[in-house]
Structure 1
Amino acid sequence: MAIINTWFVVINPTSGNGLGKRKWPKIEALLKQHQFNFDHYFTKDENDCKKIIQFAVNQGFKNFISVGGDGTLHNVVNGIMSQNIIATNLINVGVIPVGTGNDWIKTHKIPNNIEKAINIIKKGQTSLQDVGEIKLVKSNKKPVYFINLAGIGFDGYVVSKVYKYKHLGALAYLYGTLLGLFSFKNFLSKTTIGSEVIEAKTLMILVGLCQYSGGGMQLTKTPNTSDGLFDISIAKNIGKLDIIKNVLRLFNGSIVNHKKVSTYKNDMINIEITDNHKPYIQADGELIGKGDIEVKIIPKAFSYYY
């Protein structure tokens, strides 16, 4: 049966090293072939993406398609979460992946194939997942939302390096990891999870909702996208040699069993950096700043086609 709803399609032309722009004619033709009634927009940058989503919601759109990677989807979600016209769980998002890592779709088993991804959207089945909200303490910045994984420390540093090498595809994350080994310095942190306070020299702190990040890495233990809890990993003072020895464990998920990695489940986490060295913070593979953060969960606030 043909879809008769009106859709708003957001295309990031720079996703996947320009793949978004190159693939759009094929995607547009397929959407028309499958009788989607849609408007579309090419985003200029992340703020532009958020603004156009807010504008479209204000115009009455409730069904969106994100053409891009994890960063594009992240910006779409932030546009949805930062508007107050309609409940966020009533706005549905389909994904046509053309990005570098495409990590979020791995958890939800959405195929990389464009036509198969469109067929999933056309089926019209939606599900809900939790959303994380990050507040930068002592900052006037608005909250940042994420639906995959956020982190502070080494993973943020890797993200800062990946931008230069996105033409390598998923290998960019592995390259960024190896490159970061030579210059990243572990930092002092004080993390509060429930009634527990963890003070340590730290490699990175990860707050996860989905299973994969960084081009397929598995850095949290038992993530569940809709249980109302974050899956948290604190990697303490792991040295460079130890990271090199454990690179494969970053991808097969066994890194969470390392003796210097502690895991937790909670719906809130506070992270204070007690070091002059302030590490990068990333959310869904996008850099969002530096400093102390408060992270809380918003249960089942994001609706997606699967």
Structure 2
Amino acid sequence: MSYKWKFIINPNSGSQQCEKRWKEAEEVVKKQEIDYDVSFTSGPRQANILAEEAVKNGFNRIVVASGDGTLNEVVNGLMNLPTEQRKKVALGVLPFGTGNDYATTLGFPWNPKNAIDVLFNKSAVSPASIGKIHLVDTGYERYFINLLDAGISSEVGLGNKKGELKFIKSASRYTLLALKKLVTMKQRKAVVTIDDEKKYNVKLMLLIFGNGISLGGGMIGCPDAHPQKELFDFFLTENFTKLKTLKGLMTIFNGEHLKIKGGIYSTAKKIEVELEDAIPFVCDGELDIPESISTHLIGEIIPHAINVLYYKDHKSIKWLSREELDKGLRPLKNQYLISHSEFRKWQEKN
């Protein structure tokens, strides 16, 4: 089968370094005997359209050479297509953005030329599950491929989008913004229903669910999540004080937040959240204001909805082959060859 490759680049991604990284990568692409085309986004939500139009024009390899936000747009574009048309397409992700969380789960190194080498010579195709949210009170719907988050992390995202503490230019801005939100944020009373059966009456400080492992550039929110699973992994604070929430933020980069008493970590096909007060819900780092601020969320998994390209010799987590998946095997608990945080260090060197 011959492949037509469409590369979608957001030049503003990765602190505006994405285009520079792409130029380095394209030196390798040009040496390949392939049919390819490149499109640069010029505004929000354009990647949706570019991805959908590319498939309609016969491209069957769509590669996001940007960050998780652009990836989310491309996923939403692909999900507008009929299932049979979508099944003929595979999605690749080059880690040219800021956080690059999903590209990390797929196993791609950060060096542009090495990432291209993996894409063309060392990748395999696998079905991947995605999530869909519906916000009942606003009517907002969106697909996501990595993780959804709400609570302290989404409040920080909202503050960032509104430009709070924008006078701080260093990496410490996120930490200071998190501390600011922690001081002012109230525990939100919520009812969380899992698979229409189990109900939790919680004081919500943090909720994360999806099929990706990390968010926010390395926060290991769901250590056992896997794109090949047909269930969400979720982490929910049932009764976290502000002190426990702070501890959670300090330990989430190595997944140790799961050990804090008062948290729940499990799996689900469907998650419903009902709150007294509206909060922002963030999909793959994307936050739409005001549509994604809500009191009532329903999130459901769509098993194996999109094909993805992953590194066959992933240095951290095991991916099942197509043959194993066809036999009914599914990932359960990730057996890390090296820890996720150690893998990100490997990425930086490669």
TM-score after normalising by structure 2: 0.79
Amino acid at match of 2:125: T
Any conservation in 2 of the 1:221–1:263 contact (CA below 8 Å)?
A: no
- CA-CA distance at 1:226 after TM superposition: 1.6
Aligned to 1:88: 86
1 CA distance for matches of 2:11 and 2:169? 14
Aligned to 1:296: 300
SS of 1:180's equivalent in the other structure is helix
1 CA distance for matches of 2:110 and 2:160? 21
1 CA distance for matches of 2:270 and 2:55? 29
Within-5 A mapping of 1:36-115: 36-84=34-82, 86-115=84-113
- CA-CA distance at 1:161 after TM superposition: 3.5
- CA-CA distance at 1:281 after TM superposition: 0.3
User: In structure 2, do the counterparts of structure 1 residues 217 and 80 end up closer, same or farther at CA, with 3 Å as the change threshold?
Assistant: same
Aligned to 1:186: 187
SS of 1:305's equivalent in the other structure is strand
SS of 1:262's equivalent in the other structure is strand
Any conservation in 2 of the 1:64–1:94 contact (CA below 8 Å)?
A: yes
SS of 1:270's equivalent in the other structure is strand
Aligned to 1:282: 282
Within-5 A mapping of 1:255-274: 255-273=257-275
Deviations along 1:228-269, one digit per CA (max 9) or x if unpaired, are 111111113423333333433211112112111112211111
Deviations along 1:71-96, one digit per CA (max 9) or x if unpaired, are 11111111101222744332111222
1:228 matches 2:230: yes
Any conservation in 2 of the 1:74–1:146 contact (CA below 8 Å)?
A: yes
Aligned identity (percent) is: 28
Aligned to 1:177: 178
Any conservation in 2 of the 1:229–1:265 contact (CA below 8 Å)?
A: yes
Amino acid at match of 1:296: E
- CA-CA distance at 1:41 after TM superposition: 1.0
Any conservation in 1 of the 2:21–2:112 contact (CA below 8 Å)?
A: no
2 CA distance for matches of 1:131 and 1:235? 23
Aligned to 2:309: 305
2 CA distance for matches of 1:299 and 1:233? 20
Amino acid at match of 1:192: T
Any conservation in 2 of the 1:221–1:233 contact (CA below 8 Å)?
A: no
User: In structure 2, do the counterparts of structure 1 residues 236 and 173 end up closer, same or farther at CA, with 3 Å as the change threshold?
Assistant: farther
Amino acid at match of 2:254: N
User: In structure 2, do the counterparts of structure 1 residues 293 and 247 end up closer, same or farther at CA, with 3 Å as the change threshold?
Assistant: closer
Unaligned runs of 5+ in 1: none
Amino acid at match of 2:260: H
Aligned to 1:203: 205
Aligned to 2:142: 144
Amino acid at match of 2:13: S
- CA-CA distance at 1:51 after TM superposition: 1.1
Aligned to 1:241: 243
CA root-mean-square deviation: 2.3
1:252 matches 2:254: yes
TM-score after normalising by structure 1: 0.89
Deviations along 1:129-175, one digit per CA (max 9) or x if unpaired, are 1111111113333x311111102222211222445579757x66545
Amino acid at match of 1:35: E
Unaligned runs of 5+ in 2: 311-350
User: In structure 2, do the counterparts of structure 1 residues 217 and 174 end up closer, same or farther at CA, with 3 Å as the change threshold?
Assistant: farther
User: In structure 2, do the counterparts of structure 1 residues 239 and 204 end up closer, same or farther at CA, with 3 Å as the change threshold?
Assistant: same
Any conservation in 1 of the 2:231–2:267 contact (CA below 8 Å)?
A: yes
2 CA distance for matches of 1:115 and 1:180? 40
